[in-house]
Amino acid sequence: MSPGILGKKIGMTQIFNADGQVVPVTLVKAGPCVVTQRKTPATDGYDAIQLGLLEYAKKQNKPIAKHLEKSGAAGVRYMREFRLGQGSGDMKPGDRVLAEEFKPREVVDVIGTSKGRGFAGLVKRHHFRGGPATHGSMFHRAPGSIGASSFPSRVFPGMKMAGRMGTQQVTVRNLEIMSVDAEDNVIALKGAIPGPNGGYVMVRRARR
């Protein structure tokens, strides 16, 4: 049993459960994937597998191409690593991982890259309240004080300030699988997952 699978976010829709209640779901094109490398405690210090999504890239450099030739997965574009735990079974390079390994009602974690929002201010990026909007105020969306003047006369690292927002790794835990389409390798997850439509995601069996 694989600890997870790689996929591509299709988009959100809604389905009706047995009670007639509307449930928002996200569709993920999960797999097919292939094991491109097996890491063991003897050689690498830990037990894990490297999965590659079978979506062929147009061009690859020689080191990646040679690495993928060993497992017969030449041209794989997106690769990520999954730690192996108890019950994962013995997986070796060349093994396939398909969406049918996951079942409805199962709980998974989804790891993806959030949407990029560009350069954003404090109100949008950190949800600051801002200053008064009227009565001659000149302080609307400014940051305010970022440190004392005489001591320590510097800005401490980690100060919440304006900057580039988004494009960060985000993990959404304990999402329920509503349905699995084994023929088209599509998994329907309850709720939203990070990233834009067409973005790559890791679907990992829930750890908590």
- What pLDDT band is residue 39 in, cutting at 50, 70 and 90? confident
- What pLDDT band is residue 20 in, cutting at 50, 70 and 90? confident
Distance CA 129, CA 112 (A): 29
Q: What is the pLDDT of residue 88?
A: 64
| Percent of the chain whose pLDDT exceeds 70 | 97
Domains and CATH numbers, the chain: 4-116+169-205 (2.40.30.10), 122-145+153-165 (no CATH)
Q: What is the pLDDT of residue 87?
A: 59
Task: Dump pLDDT digits (tens) for 82-130.
Answer: 888 765 667 888 888 888 888 889 999 999 999 999 999 999 999 999 8
Task: Dump pLDDT digits (tens) for 126-179.
Answer: 999 988 999 999 899 988 889 888 888 999 999 999 999 999 999 999 999 999
* Whole-prediction pTM: 0.82
| DSSP label at residue 105 | T
Q: What is the pLDDT of residue 162?
A: 92
Q: Alpha carbon of 31 to those of 9, 78, 152, 186: distances in Å?
A: 11, 11, 53, 8
Cβ neighbours for 36, distance < 8 A, ≥ 6 positions apart: 50, 51, 52, 67, 68, 70, 71, 73, 76, 79, 93
Distance CA 87, CA 64 (A): 30
